[in-house]
Amino acid sequence: MTNPFTTTQLSNGLRVVIEHMPDVKTTAAGFLARTGTRDEERALAGVSHFLEHMCFKGTEKRDGHQINADFDAIGGHPNAFTAQDRTFYHGVARTQDIDAQIELLADMMRSTIPPDEFDTEKKVVLEEIAMANDQLEHVAFDFILEQVFPGHALGWPVLGYPETLRNLTRQQMYEYFRRRYVPGNMVLIVAGSADPQSIIASAQRHCGAWEPGGVSDGRSAPRVGQGLAVKQVQRFNQQLISISFPAPAATDPLHETAQAAASILGGNNSRFYWNIMQKGLSPRAGAWRLGYSDNALLILSGLCEPENAEKLVEAMRSEAAGICRQPVKEHEIDRVKNRRRTSLAVEGESPYYRLAQVMDDVDYRGQPRTVEERLALVEQVSHNSIRECFERFPIDGEGHLVSVGPRSWPELN
């Protein structure tokens, strides 16, 4: 099979990774900036996400209104997200508009952080934090990471804290931006029917003049231990309970198996669904994996009436012990593998979704994988690989229990 990928590097250090998909009519493009919460100082918590907002607000060529108008003129759909370890700006448009799309995204990567927009957008982000704090699951997620990764930047909320955002200055953000958004710390990723050589020419035309620069990787993996933490929040009516365990990182050969195991335990039509939700212990319960390049968590979680917290924890621990100690059933493995096969097949036909997959591979594994290579890993999920996963990363111990809601439970010694 012909290799669909073209990879090159501009003289300034910007890497360009392209997947050619000749049978589609659109092309998606995005700039990966390898920077996120874990790269922030505590006093600047939230700067990466706030900066994402500001990159849409103006450049030397365009103000924020013109950025939106120019994307709209080509029928583009720009978007971005910030995570604990990356920020990704992306869009999809007709293939004939790919050069314009790359030019727009590249221009945003050289934002001026417009001073007249900074204070206004700060209010928007602070409002976003306030809205998030009205959601029990969001409050609980931030608290889980804060407790599981104590003192580590991975434990800080992506949105930041109200006090760090209020104190953040434009100069601090601009210095962070100039330090992190450099060619050696960024990748242009493209997936679609556009000719790879034309993409490389576009990259050179719109990014070739960027000043060279790189970032030394000062990241360190946190230690995940056992523990217990309670956050009493009276304004909520339900209690959210979670138990977190170390899991295979994104670069671990068992990462696909770990994903399958989490789905068997707490995904759609899972053990949690039938043995916890359908028995009335929780309206929403699940198991999910949060993975980074150097570490990961398997998080068991559920909502319940505060007085049912003990029963929910007992049920989750029982299911976790069961999947560790007893072989999973063949039909469970087949079910999650078929769901994964379907998902990969559907996403493999769309440049928009392939863009995200290629980005993930390039960031965590250094190079992209084809849909067929991803499917091959799905085929390797088996009784033996699941057993190996739970032998290396057991979830039948104490883990890290977190309780958030109106009840102060369990009691802390």
**Cα 382 from chain centroid?**
26
Least Cα distance to 154 among 358, 294, 356, 357 occurs for 294
pLDDT for the residue 411: 86
Q: What is the DSSP letter of 235?
A: T
Report, as an integer, the average pLDDT of 349-360: 96
Report, as an integer, the average pLDDT of 135-140: 98
CA 373 – CA 376 distance, rounded (Å):
5
For residue 211, the one-letter residue type is: E
pLDDT at residue 324 greater than cutoff 80: yes
Residue entry with tokens 């209104």: 65
Mean pLDDT of the chain: 96
CA 249 – CA 259 distance, rounded (Å):
11
For residue 344, the one-letter residue type is: L
Collect contacts of 384-387 with beta carbons under 8 A, ≥24 apart: 385/254, 385/257, 386/257, 386/260, 386/261, 386/264, 386/328, 386/333, 387/327
pLDDT for the residue 228: 96
Domain residue limits, the chain: 5-207, 227-405
pLDDT for the residue 1: 61
Instruction: Note whether 5-207 and 227-405 share their fold.
Output: yes
What superfamily would CATH give domain 227-405? Metalloenzyme, LuxS/M16 peptidase-like (3.30.830.10)
Report, as an integer, the average pLDDT of 101-112: 98
Architecture of the domain defined by 5-207: 2-Layer Sandwich (3.30)
Structural tokens at position 191: 């997936």
What pTM was estimated for this model as a whole? Answer: 0.95
Structural tokens at position 134: 């009205």
Q: Where are the alpha helices (DSSP H) in 95-180?
A: 98-108, 115-132, 136-148, 162-167, 170-180
pLDDT for the residue 225: 76
Q: What is the pLDDT of residues 202-211, one digit of tens each?
A: 999 999 999 9
Q: What is the pLDDT of residues 243-274, one digit of tens each?
A: 999 999 999 999 999 999 999 999 999 999 99
Strand partners, 243: 300, 401
Within 10 angstroms of residue 278's Cβ, the number of other Cβ atoms is 10
pLDDT at residue 406 greater than cutoff 80: yes
Q: What is the pLDDT of residues 183-194, one digit of tens each?
A: 999 999 999 999
CA 69 – CA 72 distance, rounded (Å):
5
CA 363 – CA 255 distance, rounded (Å):
15
pLDDT at residue 413 greater than cutoff 80: no
* Backbone phi, psi, residue 191, to 5°: -140, 125
